[in-house]
Structure 1
Amino acid sequence: MGIKKYRILVLLFSVLLSLLIVETPTAAAQLSQNYYAGICPNVESVVRGVVSQRLQQSFAAGAGTLRLFFHDCFVRGCDASVLIANPNGDDEGHSGADLSLSADAIDLINKAKAAVDGDPQCTNRVSCADILAMAARDVVSLVGGPFYPVELGRLDGKVSTRAIVKYSLPGPTFNLDQLNSLFAANGLTQTDMIALSGR
């Protein structure tokens, strides 16, 4: 896929993800753009720095991060539950649709979280859910898409099971009616579905 086509897909994907974020249950919390201003004022620049560095090492980390964010938001509502690893393997990351999530993207988020927690003022104060949302936004901006504000203050999920993914993400055998129904349940249109599917 050419860089220009990739950037157009990233742009469409980002706009539609921003719509999805607004529609998710975690968005019902009191989110704000300056949520961390008093407790971790450098969080945005720290995350952006890690994203920029990781994209220089692996351009594939960008698309992988957007896909990771989509899978997270579509399943439980942008709570980073996709990153939870249960000791018994019964978690979202070990389900059929999530088995192919990008290791580069997960590494990017882990490095961003470590960098944020490396600042004594920020240690254990910034949710993985917010780091994932900022990273997805920064990926879009750094590959030539728009920079858009992200409201912060999401709480990390505490539950992650394989079963929920089966009923939340489209399967490979879904027909058009099933796809339209699933995306409509998340406040998205058929056009949104086509763009998010990268078709």
Structure 2
Amino acid sequence: MCLRDLLEWADKYIECGDRKKMEADGYLFPPIHPGISPDDDWYRFERWMKGLPVRMKLKDRFPSDYNPIKPEDLNDEKLMPELQKLIDHLDKLGMGLSFVNDVPPRLIYWHLYEILEEEFELLTEGGWHLDGCSGYCPGCFQRPWCESGTSCCWSEDEKAGEMVLIDSVKEFVSASPVSLSVLQKCQAEEDKEFEEFEKRLKDTAPDDGDELPF
């Protein structure tokens, strides 16, 4: 998308006033980023033309009578009811949730409370999927319970000499750190499995001159 395209679309929208007239003139796909779907892109384009936000923080989309309790203010008795209430409100916003099995509910609540400050694109239908995984294991609250997180060795682990965990996770796991040698062994096994997979793929792939994407 370039500024020239956007200005052309803006001028045309001012002239036509709605989507149907613009589509009749060949303006089918608004130059808006990120492109999600025709309906969602039109929805955000028209909001933008009206001076309305196209993305909002999750907390700002909740009903005015709902204010999630800070994690540190929740005792064990209130935790589960408040977690379910938060999940229900996120579900109404189209936010699908799935986390690694056995992650303590308090950590899940803490994570969800944190992302309420994040902005998400506004959609007409569907929604977003939240799984808590950023791909950066040393900073992940799910690492001790995640198969990938416990079987890979990062440079941060090498430097620390053990599996690196964020502070909020440490109170939920054993005081005995996962040794670096265990992580290195798991990483070596993962690397070996991938090399074998890559070799099998190369052996069975048609010889059309194209390189594998890794």
Q: Which range, TM-score by smaller chain?
A: under 0.3
Larger Rg: 2
The two structures have a TM-score, normalised by structure 2, of 0.23
Higher strand share: 2
TM-score under structure 1 length normalisation: 0.24
Q: Which has the higher contact order (CA 8 A, sep 6+)?
A: 1
